[in-house]
Amino acid sequence: MAPTSRIYLTRHAQAEHNATGDSTIADALLTKLGEQQAARLPSLTPELQGVVEVVIASPLRRTLQSASLGYAEAIKRLGGDGKIVCLPQAQECNDVPCDTGSLREVLETQPYFAKYDLSLLTPDWTSKQGFYAAHSDSLDARAQWVRQYLRDRPEQHIALVAHGDFLRRLTKEPESYWANAEVRLFEFDPNAVHTDACPLTHVAHVAEGDWTDAAAPEPVPATHAALSSMEERVKQMYVPTLLICRQASLASQNDVLADLDRRLEAAERKKAEVRGWDSHKLEQRNPL
């Protein structure tokens, strides 16, 4: 048991359903961009690659791919992809096809996935019923089971590759959005680590991830420094845009004024022409 362990939670990289918005894609694979996102994690986390003692992953195909690519150096050091712990309890929450895994016998027929140790995949792991049901109570119970599982492992440095919705359940941070291939460090709350809930507390961002799919809302910052940082980012993002809009607005107003000036000048010329014509007529009628 290692209640003082450091848990590196990682969201999978971009998968097909993320890119297309199509939830009917069964057990979605990574896109080419997703492969690139995951493959650059080792260069972003060199220290982490050297200290991780075990890599655990949800057995959905995108999380297995993300684990192999994102923790490639650590996995090589630990003995290869066969050493990844495929944990069905860490699967995604929803009962749609893209969030439902493949049966063990199906994965074993696919060369890329047959290399993993799939011994923990029971026949019901894809059922989305009972323990795996997409029901709030079941999801909370499953998240608590995973926290207890992580707490009871002997390693001090544990990497878990999972899914956005499940990571929110696991950390009890429902408003905290995760980018593709994002890594955050958590530790167990020392005051409650021995309780059934054994909650996790956020320590640091290890790798920021990629928001290519969509810009999700930022979590509410908890400190003055975080507020200042967010304010600065907002200024950087929006002030130039506002200036452009204001400049565009001023330019538009100037165009309108210039057009009015042209119209007034034309009206004055027309008025002068009419006056000239009337004067000529009057001279013709009243010759000296």
pTM: 0.74
Q: Are 67 and 116 in contact (CB under 8 A)?
A: no
Query: What are the phi and psi torsion angles at 14 (to 5°)?
Result: -60, 130
Whats the size of the chain, residue-wise?
Answer: 288
Residues 6 or more apart from 45 whose CB is under 8 A from it? 183, 206, 207
Take residue 132 and report the two structure tokens written for it: 């795996």
Q: Are 172 and 20 in contact (CB under 8 A)?
A: no
How many Å apart are CA 46 and CA 59, to the nearest integer? Answer: 25
Take residue 119 and report the two structure tokens written for it: 């011994």
pLDDT digits (tens, 9 = 90+) for 90-108: 999 999 999 999 999 999 9
In terms of Cα–Cα distance, which of 61, 51, 272, 17 is closest to 156?
Answer: 51
Q: Are 65 and 102 in contact (CB under 8 A)?
A: no
How many Å apart are CA 37 and CA 14, to the nearest integer? Answer: 7
What count of other Cβ atoms lies within 10 Å of the Cβ of residue 132? 22
pLDDT score at 268: 62
What count of other Cβ atoms lies within 10 Å of the Cβ of residue 282? 9
CA 239 remoteness from chain centre: 24
What string of pLDDT tens digits covers the 288 residues of the chain?
678 999 999 999 999 999 999 999 999 999 999 999 999 999 999 999 999 999 999 999 999 999 999 999 999 999 999 999 999 999 999 999 999 999 999 999 999 999 999 999 999 999 999 999 999 999 999 999 999 999 999 999 999 999 999 999 999 999 999 999 999 999 999 999 999 999 999 999 999 999 986 544 444 344 444 334 334 433 433 333 333 334 434 444 455 455 555 655 655 665 555 455 444 444 444 444
Please state which of the four CATH numbers 3.40.50.720, 3.40.50.300, 3.30.70.260, 3.40.50.1240 is assigned to the domain occupying 6-220: 3.40.50.1240
Max CA distance (Å), the chain: 122
pLDDT digits (tens, 9 = 90+) for 132-179: 999 999 999 999 999 999 999 999 999 999 999 999 999 999 999 999
